[in-house]
Amino acid sequence: MSSATAPAKPRVRVFAVAGAWLLAVALACAAAYHFSAERAGAALRAKAERHAAALALDLNGALEKVETLPFVISLQAQVQQGLQHPGDAARIDALNHYLAEVQQRAQVAAAYVIDHNGLTIAASNWQDVQTFVGNNYGFRPYARAALAGDVGRFYAIGTTTSLPGYFLAHPVADPGGSHGRPLGAVVLKISLDAFERSWAGGDERAALVDRNGVLFLASQPDWKYRSLKPLDDAARREIAASQQYTGRRIDPLPAAAAALPVVEQPVGPLGWRLMLFVDPAPARQAARAMAFGTALLLLAAALGAHAWSQRRAHARSLDAARAALSEASTQLEQRIAERTAELVRANRDLAERYRELQQAEQLLRETQNELVQAGKLGMLGQMAAGMTHELNQPLTAVKAFADNAVAFLDHGDPDSVRENLQHISDACSRMGRLIGQLKGFARKSEDLVGPVDLAASIRNAALLLEADYRQHGAALSITALPSARVMGDSLRIEQVLVNLMKNALDAVAGADERSVHLVLARDGDDAVVTISDSGPGLAPQARARLFEPFFTTKPSGQGLGLGLAISSSIVQAMGGQLAATDPPGGRGVGGAQFVLRLPLLDTEEETA
């Protein structure tokens, strides 16, 4: 469960962070775009504003330059005379020449004079095919205004030439007239085409718009004679009546153009507006570049932040690892110190324990020696009765042989005396041997360790018990290797053997068949002495406790129960084992069997 959800959490975090970052980037880009668009737009507008002011200044200058010209011309005598005598060809001709000169000097498109009906009587272009002369312009607002005594101003496409221009008309006063009606009017047509052409290359799209919202000059040719918004009926009627745009359809500007931001300046006395349409594309482009730059910057910042955080995380994990390492090493040192202290303590305990053990061992050894001694003494006591009997018999014999020898000496029979003396000597030797064994047994032997011939020990033990066996009519058979050397104390080994052979004798003493077999053999690196008897065997309750000190089944005065206990400890001290085993026929079949096992020094394979 935990393994499934554990990696999901950091992933969710990563997505959340990425999402937040993207949102921030989007917001920042939008803000940058907006801000930049605003600024660039404002800059463009300011620039357009300045440009528009300059253009308007130009236009106004041009218009003002000609503003008073028709008035000046109207004061000319030729003009008045021409109007007063329109049939006088010479005067008209002179007027034509004059107007032509004016047109050239003043750099206007045309200069002409209309009579009080609006009929053109003379014109600068009198020689042209499309001359104004003879045409009636009374329907034009400028003509009507001038003929009504006002200054006439009008922009229109020429009905004769189809060329557009600004018409400026001034009434020509009638010097003799009492009611003040003008004789006619002087009209100048001024072309604004040069302005229009000069706008063509500019950054903004420029247009000159009339009172009705019609663009009559435009840097964009397809915008010309279109209106800012659809014209109302009054405007349509007015335009149609004056033939201002010679019957052209005035359509509104395309919506996209009409929606462009605009700066405008008033121009001239007719309520014209010079309009500069600001192209927002560069501003948008700048804004887009700004937004893109911002995105790039933020991306770089994010990458930088990521790299930085990675480095910091790396450094942090390094620090943590270092701290963990030093912590671990501190702990290790501490643990080592603790363990060392424990070991020192344990060592001290061990040393103490060892000392105690040594003391215990010493005590045990002393106790064992005591016990061995006690066992020997006990056995000695038991043997004393037998000994008495054994010694009594030869002593009686010695006395008898001695008495007889005296008698043979009296009879002068020296051979018999010698024979008897020999008998006495033999008996004494036998008694001496018996006593010698007894002496050696009673001696407390301590640390007389050396190579011991087991066969010899068996012979000595057998000799020691020979009288006992004979007394009880028991047969002792011995099968032994000629020599089997083990490491130990010979007296103690004999003590063990005597003990085992004596127990066997005790066991067979009350039995019908009274035989004891002793076998000395080799088993691997051990010498093995097996003593089996034809006695009743080991009682079941005795088997488990045989080697306990003071365990005995014998009547008091006959056994101390120390024999096997001491023997076992002696054998163990020599690196051997003593055990009661079942006889070859099985338990209870015939007698008991004890096995003594001691590590061999060397052996001779022969048997005797």
Distance of alpha carbon 103 from alpha carbon 94, whole angstroms: 14
Least distance (Å) from ligand ADP to the CB of residue 415? Answer: 49
Instruction: Tell me the C-alpha to C-alpha distance, in Å, between residue 550 and each of 40, 368, 439, 542, 545.
Output: 126, 14, 25, 12, 10
Q: Which is nearer to ligand ADP, 427 or 564 (CB)?
A: 564
- In which residue are the tokens 């060592």 written? 347
Strand locations in 524-592, DSSP E? Answer: 526-533, 577-581
Q: Is 578 in the site for ligand ADP (CB under 6 A)?
A: no
Residue number, 121 or 497, with CB nearest to ligand ADP: 497
In degrees, to the nearest 5, what angle opens at C-alpha 15 toward C-alphas 12 and 18?
150
Residue of 379, 323, 350, 358 lying closest to 492 (CA atoms):
379
Give how far Cα 127 sits from Cα of 17, 93, 97, 101, Å.
Answer: 85, 11, 10, 13
Name the token pair of 528.
Answer: 């093995």
Q: Which of 474, 486, 546, 574 binds ligand ADP (CB under 6 A)?
A: 546
Considering only 291, 560, 578, 596, the residue that binds ligand ADP (CB under 6 A) is: 560
Among positions 563, 576, 583, 590, the unique one binding ligand ADP when judged by CB under 6 A = 563
Q: Would you count residue 559 as binding ligand ADP (CB under 6 A)?
A: yes
Q: Does 469 bind ligand ADP (CB under 6 A)?
A: no
Q: In the bound complex, what is the minimum distance in angstroms from residue 508's beta carbon to ligand ADP?
A: 8
x/- letters, 481..500, toward ligand ADP (CB under 6 A):
------------------x-
- Check binding of 538 to ligand ADP (CB under 6 A): yes
551 contributes a contact to ligand ADP by CB under 6 A: yes
Name the one range near ligand ADP by CB under 6 A: 114-122, 213-221, 231-239, 559-567: 559-567
Query: In the complex with ligand ADP, which residue's Cβ is closer, 64 or 370?
Result: 370
Does position 386 interact with ligand ADP (CB under 6 A)? The reply is: no
In the set 70, 118, 535, 576, which binds ligand ADP (CB under 6 A)?
A: 535
Of the residues 421, 553, 573, 577, which one makes contact with ligand ADP according to CB under 6 A: 553
Q: Is 265 in the site for ligand ADP (CB under 6 A)?
A: no
Member of 262, 527, 564, 574 binding ligand ADP (CB under 6 A)? 564
Which of 504, 518, 529, 570 touches ligand ADP (CB under 6 A)?
504
In the complex with ligand ADP, which residue's Cβ is closer, 213 or 375?
375
CA-nearest of 193, 189, 191 to 113 is: 189
- Six-digit token string for 586: 């099985």
In the chain, what is the straight-line distance between the N-terminal and C-terminal CA atoms, in Å? 86
Residue range at the interface with ligand ADP (CB under 6 A); choices 20-28, 201-209, 518-526, 557-565: 557-565
The DSSP letter of residue 588 is T
Q: Which is nearer to ligand ADP, 291 or 504 (CB)?
A: 504
| Minimal distance, residue 435 CB to ligand ADP, in Å | 24
Q: Measured between alpha carbons, how far is 501 from 465 in angstroms, rounded to an integer?
A: 8
- Name the minimum Å distance from CB 507 to ligand ADP: 3
Number of residues that bind ligand ADP (CB under 6 A): 20
Structure tokens at 594: 């004890």
Instruction: Give 527's strand partners.
Output: 522, 598
Q: Which of 146, 498, 507, 578 binds ligand ADP (CB under 6 A)?
A: 507
Residues facing 252 on adjacent strands: 227
Contacts of 547 (CB under 8 A, 6+ apart): 564, 565, 568, 578
HSE of 575 in the Cβ direction (CA atoms, 13 Å)? 12
DSSP H or E segment with residue 605: none
Based on CB atoms, which residue is closest to ligand ADP, 184 or 563?
A: 563
E strand intervals along 77-204: 110-115, 120-123, 152-157, 164-172, 184-190
With contacts defined by CB under 6 A, name the span among 200-208, 357-365, 461-469, 558-566 that binds ligand ADP.
Answer: 558-566
Query: What is the gyration radius of the CA atoms in the chain, in angstroms?
Result: 80
Q: Is 533 in the site for ligand ADP (CB under 6 A)?
A: yes
Which positions ≥6 away from 481 have C-beta within 8 Å? Answer: 454, 455, 520, 521, 522, 527, 603, 604, 605, 606, 607, 608
In the complex, least distance from residue 463 CB atom to ligand ADP, rounded to whole angstroms: 20
| Binding positions for ligand ADP, rule: CB under 6 A | 499, 503-504, 507, 533, 535, 538, 542, 546, 551-554, 559-561, 563-565, 592
